[in-house]
Amino acid sequence: MPSENTNGGAGPVRQAMDLGALQAVMIDPATVETAEWVRWKCRFGCGGYGSSLVCPPHTPLPDQTRRLLDGYSRAVLFEAPTGKAKEIAVVLERQLFLDGHHKAFGLGAGPCSLCEECRFDRGCLHPRKARPSMEACGIDVFTTVRRHDMPIEVVRSREAPQHYYGLVLID
């Protein structure tokens, strides 16, 4: 089994923090909540729906995501600065992969912003950077984050604080 000590002695939580996460915790993927309603909110409420290969309807369904999660015994859940969840998830995923965690896989927050327009018919231009959001795969971020005593609230105004989360599955 790969060592918990990676990146100069720092474990995955420390690595997430070193990459700019505001906070990070190691969790059991069994505590990640999936639900059908989440993708419905994407479809009927998000302007990014259908806009890229990492947004619904092109992403896994909640039951497929549940099966994926059930194949892991640990993950890092982290809060990221605005617009940084996917970036941190991708870099952390790569660091963990290179450390011997061959199953490492990251998920971020929000729609893809790597290209102005997605090349659906020709494939992704950035497959090493493009990752779906947790929501796009049917993960109930509110329930999951609250289970781990991390802050998240409904944003009622543009001035209200917003919290963005990412998840990296490890083993």
Buried b (16+ CB within 10 A) or exposed e, 72-101: beebbbbbbeeebbbbbbbbbbebbbebeb
Parent domain of 99: 12-169
Query: What confidence tens digit (pLDDT) does each residue in 17-60 have?
Result: 999 999 999 999 999 999 999 999 999 988 889 899 999 999 99
Residue 9 confidence class, pLDDT cut points 50, 70, 90: very low
Residue 2 lies in a domain: no
Residue at 132 is within a domain = yes
Q: Whole-model pTM?
A: 0.91
In a domain, 7, yes or no: no
In a domain, 5, yes or no: no
Helix (H) or strand (E) holding 10: none
Q: Report yes or no on 4 lying in a domain.
A: no
pLDDT exceeding 70 applies to what percent of the chain? 94
Any domain includes 1? no
How many domains, the chain? 1
